[in-house]
Amino acid sequence: MLLPALSWLLSSLVTTVSPGKLSEAEVATEVLHRPFICHRKTKYGDMLMVHHDGYFENGTMFHSSRSSGDKQPMWFTLGIRQVLKGWDLGLQGMCAGEKRKLVLPPALAYGKEGKGKIPPESTLTFIVELLDIRNGPRSHESFQEMDLNDDWRLSRYEVKEYLKKEHEKYGNPPNDTLREKIMEEIFAREDENKDGFISSREFTYKHDEL
Ligand SMILES: [Ca+2]
Ligand SMILES: [Ca+2]
């Protein structure tokens, strides 16, 4: 049952690369370290926790999550343009513990304009270490977990049960009125065709911009 959804994801990925621009819009990916044990690999919609170092073409480091700011690794959702396009493309199929080197052409990084200390038209190299993978809020795993009767759509009951479970997991006091309100907000936003159910298509992220 997962296959149609996956092939849909893949086809939306393929259409993103226009034939004429293939060479300039590619991420060069090199695996620097792959762990012996790999329980799952990253895919669109997953939440990733990474440490990363960024370098200019001349080898100068412009950022390192290990030494900048709070020195904490960062969490982001893969495939929704929360990060640079080149990351969304280059960090797929990765195992926790894996380390990759990505070389991003400007088109998949900060483009013609650049940003802050990144000059225009910069090709950037990143060393990314993946520390942890979790099901994204919009992953197929989350959907399947919520879809109690396996009919590939979420009813109000199923969403409410899920909220209840989440609230219990995080120790929030159960409050039916509040949950009812959250649920109605979710349906107002997600049930695009207003048929009273959230389909798997309505639920998962749209990848059109990639
Ligand atoms: Ca269902
Ligand atoms: Ca619907």
pLDDT at 108: 96
pLDDT at 166: 79
Helices 156-169, 176-190: crossing angle, 10 deg rounding: 130
Q: What is the mean pLDDT of residues 2-30?
A: 54
pLDDT at 83: 93
**Residue 16 pLDDT greater than 70, yes or no:** no
Ligand 1 (single-atom ion) residues, CB below 5 Å = 147, 149, 151
Q: Considering every ligand atom shown, identify the ligand nearest to the alpha carbon of residue 191 and give its number.
A: 2
Name all domains of the chain by residue range, CATH numbers in brackets: 22-134 (3.10.50.40), 140-203 (1.10.238.10)
**Residue 14 pLDDT greater than 60, yes or no:** no
Q: Using the mean position of ligand 2's atoms as its centre, give its distance from the Cα of residue 191 in Å.
A: 4
Q: Using the mean position of ligand 2's atoms as its centre, give its distance from the Cα of residue 177 in Å.
A: 23
As a whole-number percent, the residues of the chain with pLDDT over 90 amount to 56
Q: What is the mean pLDDT of residues 74-98?
A: 93
**Angle at the Cα of 79 (from 75 to 84), degrees rounded to 5?**
70
Q: Using the mean position of ligand 2's atoms as its centre, give its distance from the Cα of residue 80 in Å.
A: 21
Q: Using the mean position of ligand 1's atoms as its centre, give its distance from the Cα of residue 198 in Å.
A: 9
Using pLDDT thresholds of 50, 70 and 90, give the confidence band for residue 204.
confident
List, for residues 47-82, the tens digit of each pLDDT value: 999 999 999 999 999 999 999 888 999 999 898 888
Q: Using the mean position of ligand 2's atoms as its centre, give its distance from the Cα of residue 200 in Å.
A: 9
Q: Using the mean position of ligand 1's atoms as its centre, give its distance from the Cα of residue 103 in Å.
A: 42
Q: Using the mean position of ligand 2's atoms as its centre, give its distance from the Cα of residue 202 in Å.
A: 7
Cα–Cα nearest to 201, from 35, 94, 193, 188: 193
The whole-model pTM stands at 0.65
Q: What is the mean pLDDT of residues 181-205?
A: 88
Alpha-helix residue ranges (DSSP H) falling in the chain: 2-14, 85-90, 140-146, 156-169, 176-190, 200-203
- For all residues of the chain together, what is the average pLDDT? 84
Q: Considering every ligand atom shown, identify the ligand nearest to the alpha carbon of residue 148 and give its number.
A: 1
pLDDT at 174: 67
Q: Using the mean position of ligand 1's atoms as its centre, give its distance from the Cα of residue 134 in Å.
A: 23
**Residue 7 pLDDT greater than 60, yes or no:** no
C-alpha distance from residue 150 to each of 1, 144, 191, 198 (Å): 10, 7, 18, 13
Cα–Cα nearest to 29, from 96, 120, 127, 115: 127
DSSP structure class, residue 71: -
More confident residue, 171 or 65: 65
